[in-house]
Chains A and B, each alone.
Chain A
Amino acid sequence: MMLAIARKEFIHILRDRGTFLLVTIGPLFLMVIFTYTLTTDVKEAPLAVIDLAHNDASTALIDRLDASPKIHVERHLASADETDNLFKRGEVVAAVVIPADYGQVSLTRVPQVEAIIDGTEPISAETVLTEVYQIADAHSRELAGDALQSDLFEPPIYTTQERLYNDALSSKVDFYPGLMGMMLGLPAIALSLSLARERENGTLEQLMATPIAKRALLLGKLWPYLGFGMVDVYALLALGQWVYDVPFTGNLLAYSLIAFLFMFASLGMGLVVSVIARTQQVAVVIAILVFFIPPFFMSGTFFPVDAMPQLVQLEMMSLPATHFVTAGKAIYLQGTALRELWLQVVLLTVISVEMLEVSTFIFRKKVVGGFRRPAPPVLTTKENALS
């Protein structure tokens, strides 16, 4: 029985162009766009320089700033007055003022540059800030060291850096496994539409007239989307591996399991949405609000969950995407073994079962369409008054 429904739904997906695109090309297409546009890696951010010194030291500093891949010197200004205007026009994101006595080092005084940063875009501003600061700091230390022939200006403690999993700290590598959680929400959106569509088209009544059990009906609807979703998983993994240089280091089987559980859980949520929503439009709106936007912000993809208020963290725990991003990312980038991720496996399983139960519980196999319910009397009288 369930298989019959699944087969019907599968054929439906194949024949409905919109749904078919949504569950096949959709995730890949979005992923391509997202990876190109959502990177926060700052490249060649425009910088204004106000060089009041005009000596070898200041020229050397400007060259060094320009040489950094993160920033580039866009404008040379005579005075700092103009910087406000440039900031407002968005032509530069930072201005560096080199004082007139730059490079004239003594034991008691090391002239330093002053940097002004436009904080409107905090993420890139922070990168630019760090870069400018480090370059200026290192340069002035060198200048002082050379001029006074002393190592007094070296930092008191050196640090060596070692970066695991993602040597360049590239945001793309960080985001890719998280973005998969978003992309794999698309089949769930398609599923929420599907049931609402049956209701709207009146074919749900036909299904109700069959002796099929509620749970079998809902599960039968779910399986085909799960199948397409799993195909998406491997397609996205291939895309990451060979097109975007995000190497998959973990165990493919473990990843498949996590992905399967996640898909099941979010499709279960999709069922709940479609049972609640009476029309397809409503289903779309709710599905976008539930599947797409929160994972974008909340699943640790763009803002780490650790830094969020407890209340929000708690709420995040109820979203399957959060657990998928945590576990999937660990397997994907860090090669973490599945037994370390037992908590996520358990939680995803719990959400899956819970969603299936909830949707079965609230899904009534009776013909109570939204259309047949009589309008409340208040509305009717107002209606008359208006016309």
Chain B
Amino acid sequence: MILKVALRNFAGQGMRAFLNVSVTALIIIATIFSLSLLNGFQAQALKNLSTTDVGGGHYRVPGFDIMSPTDWEDLTQEVPRQLSQFKHNEKAEVLVQQGQLFINNRMFPVQLRGVEMGQQLLDLPMDHLLRRQQPVADSVPIIIGTQMSRKSKLKVGDQVVMKWRDKHGAVDALDAEVVDVVPLVNPRVDEGVAWLRLDHLRQITLRSKEITWVVVEGNRGKVEGLEFIDTDYLMRDLLALLANDRRNTRLIIGILLMLAAISVFNTQYLNIFKRQKEIGTLMAMGMTPNQIIRLFTVEGGLAAVGAVLMAVVLGIPFFAWFQISGFDVSHLSGTGIPVRENIFLEFNVREIATAVSIIVGLMILVAWWPVRRISNLEPTQALRGRGIT
């Protein structure tokens, strides 16, 4: 009975009810959108990082740090037998060394990254290197990414002097030929990186069979001479950035939610103030204060239920449209974030259910909070409209 009465009263509130429902519905849509966009962004970024660099983790020479290039030449070793037996889709051997390109007579420090040809674990567009099977003779074929190309002004077909130090510390140089410029979605493997065939890098640095790390599908247990670095560690900077984004998003959602809660609270407060005579009449007709509190709480709570329904009606077409067009993040191409393409929403049902439950719960709470005062209201005072001031 209370629900039926509350529905009629709620509908009778007209524009005020509609505004509350609309604001709350928009907040539900905004909440789902921002959480799902962040999920989509995170999924895409982690996927890009994983498929271009991290894989399922690295077996690295202990002490290797990508941020300490001067140590790179000291931190290599031969591939342990245990790893060299893995198939092409189970591992990718990588050798990293320092080098310099001399572009227009200016020195350009680069990371020379040799990757095993034929590996299928990482998704790297190395087709042009794959074809250059002959040992290095007059020039070293290299591939660079589009960001590197933009910064260094190098393009396909350019030849520049490349310098490096071999295993014995002797400085050597040869021409490097840019055989391809490829779009790499991960800036870690683009900016400042020159890609070589692993056999070529080994040849010119005299590091036969050596690696800096081996990318693997996952932890394969202890490997002699190498330590396993898991994906969480390898992606820690990105994960920290995303965790920070998630905190900021929650803060914004919290602020929006507070605004909606204030709106419902205000409506309820006005309701009990303006409808005191009605409350008194209901009491005279035999409703208990608790029943009236329930009635007004349900009435206020209906704003939340209406908002969920409106969010479904407005949200589904909006999200469907968004999933077709995606969100253009090309403006992030200059940043270190490993996402270049359009990103799409990734819905997490549990997360959405939790968020919607919190919103509905909060709306019911703020619908109930002001009407608690009815419990102390005297019917005679309410009938005179003087019970709540």
Tell whether A and B belong to one assembly: no
